[in-house]
A = this chain, B = another copy of it.
């Protein structure tokens, strides 16, 4: 049905070796022969089979991407960044969404193994979990025997390149800002403390509080799980208790939304009834002109960097493992202050 290199060879009255040479710009081909072949290819709309090609060359130009949720602003941007670089290098991208599900993660890994992808960018479902699940994951990654870049979340004692975020520092900095604004009762709605990114952000908060000799009041530490719903629920609780903190740190974009939702519901005003600063950006909040302050990284850039790490690793498989920590940027819009 679809044309092969043989068909082209016949039509051009040459051998397939010669066609292959013009396709790959390799070896000597007389100018006229080349032009003739090129014409036949154009006229007959021939595209060489990547499948046959990679079987023959024993290498693919395909990379795999496994992320937990494509319908998440952050990962959507990450994907955009990865895709951009993949495209620039004429590679192809196989996409997998795990929905934060271990079984799907396993299946994706097996599939990518069979597809013989050249490299993998992975955000694991878990993050630095010591259990059996992580052991299995690490083994499976080793079995792949290809360059891998971990993104956003990692594994304990990683042997792979990684692109992460300054979780500790960003939270530290956010806390510091609140402290310097003069707030005393500084609370936090943490992320999922089973994930390292959740832990680190929490630790950043504790670190800053300690360094500045602030009193850490357990009542103001609300353990969330990075979801809108939990943050909303926790926020309602502390709003209803009369003991409101002066300021709050929200540990990711969704936490921020849950918090703000609660504020609106109780008619509390940011920067008036309570101050706040978040981690992660929410495009929409900015568009709507909310005065919500936050520290965040550039997600698209994070995708680009991950793909670049992979490309470098292809170049030099033996170079030292590199972990790239994306810097945070501070976006102050006013909510960190309290104007009575």
Contact = CB atoms under 8 A, between A and B. Distances in A.
A72 interface: yes
Given A71-B80, A257-B287, A87 B116 contact: no
Chain A interface secondary structure, helix, strand, loop or mixed? Answer: helix
A264 B289 contact: yes
A70 B71 contact: no
A45 B80 contact: no
A84 B51 CA distance: 25
A173 to B, nearest CB: 25
A327 to B, nearest CB: 20
A94 B87 CA distance: 12
Contact of A261 (B45, B47, B260, B287): B287
A264 B288 CA distance: 7
8 contacts: A47-B114, A48-B114, A49-B114, A71-B300, A87-B108, A90-B111, A261-B287, A284-B284
Interface of A: 1-2, 45, 47-55, 60, 65, 69-73, 75-77, 79-80, 83-84, 87, 90, 92-97, 99, 104, 107-108, 110-111, 113-116, 143, 145, 228, 257-258, 260-261, 264-265, 282, 284-285, 287-289, 300
The 10 nearest A-B residue pairs measured at CB: A95-B95, A284-B284, A83-B97, A76-B76, A50-B114, A71-B76, A47-B113, A71-B80, A71-B77, A70-B79
